[in-house]
Amino acid sequence: MSNEVNRLTVRDLEELEKKSQIDLEMSKEELERKQIENDKLKSEWKSCCFTCNADAIKYIVQMGFLGGVVLFSLIQLFLGAEPQVLWVSLLSSALGIAVPSPTWKNNH
């Protein structure tokens, strides 16, 4: 009787181990799925009417603001507003942000 109980226990343990391994694999897959969904939600903004890419909207807004600063600085320079140093430095800062720094690519 004692051996029979031990056999059942070993058999039960083996089944539990298989089930826990399956559950662990399923939880890994579910975690990966949720991670992908989370990344997708971070990169998309939803409205009542449309869904858009968050990075694209941020880029458009940043470039629009930067373009406004450049345009305003140019207008102030052409109108001769004082101090001109302010408008030149604002213009050069805005252009320095917009234009990427040059890099040397070595293809060899």
Q: What is the pLDDT of residues 83-96, one digit of tens each?
A: 989 999 999 999 88
Could you tell me the pTM of the whole model? Answer: 0.55
What sign results for the dihedral spanned by CA atoms 31, 32, 33, 35?
Answer: positive
Q: What is the pLDDT of residues 38-62, one digit of tens each?
A: 666 667 877 788 888 888 888 899 9
Q: Output the pLDDT for position 106.
A: 77
- What are the extents of the domains in the chain? 1-46, 52-100
Distance from chain centroid for Cα 79: 42
Q: Which residues fall within 8 angstroms of residue 55, CB to CB, at 6 or more apart?
A: 43
CA distance 9 to 21: 18
